[in-house]
Amino acid sequence: MGVPDGTNADDTGTGNQDPGTPADQVNTTIVTQNVVGWWRSLFGGDPTQYQAGGGGKGGQFMFASVDELNGVIKQWETMRDDIQDDKDKIADAYFKIKAPAGDIMSQGQASASRDSLANLWQHSDAMLKYADNYITKLYESRDQMQVMEDGAHSNFKSIQA
């Protein structure tokens, strides 16, 4: 029995899978971008080249209500605050590193540790910027959604009158 052109004999039918809740979509995006960034950095690429889309139709997240979107915004703000806290801890650790002795090996180890922490700080800074930009987009989406809901509510009231 042949397989029609454009189909895969091993197709499990998962191509039409529901994208999940907005929180699931956001978490999946974060994990994916962290893994992709890590792989890029291993091969000398820029680990900060993040791209976010969405899991819904047309590459957009779908939110059922303003309240649901507010919950996602709160999650992102919490995550952003955690990233900022980590970034501050990285900076503190960077400035606390001292060579245990004056020899070249001790100096080299201290320098390598500072270089590693500087790279980690840059990565945290990129994640922080990404989170800030994404939160801004979520607020813009929420504002648009609120305007649409308010308009629909007004229209409904005028129909009832």
The pLDDT tens digits for 58-96 are 445 566 688 888 999 999 999 999 999 999 999 999 999
What pLDDT does residue 56 have? Answer: 45
- Is residue 72 a part of any domain in this protein? yes
The pLDDT tens digits for 112-143 are 999 999 999 999 999 999 999 999 999 988 88
Structural domain count of the chain = 1
- Is residue 22 a part of any domain in this protein? no
81: containing domain? 64-156
- Please say whether the beta carbons of 99 and 110 come within 8 A: yes
pTM of the complete model beyond 0.85: no
- Is residue 7 a part of any domain in this protein? no
Task: Name the token pair of 10.
Answer: 């091993």
Say which residues have a Cβ less than 8 Å from residue 113's Cβ, sequence separation at least 6: 97
C-alpha gyration radius of the chain: 23
- Is residue 9 a part of any domain in this protein? no
Q: What CATH number does residue 131 fall under?
A: 1.10.287
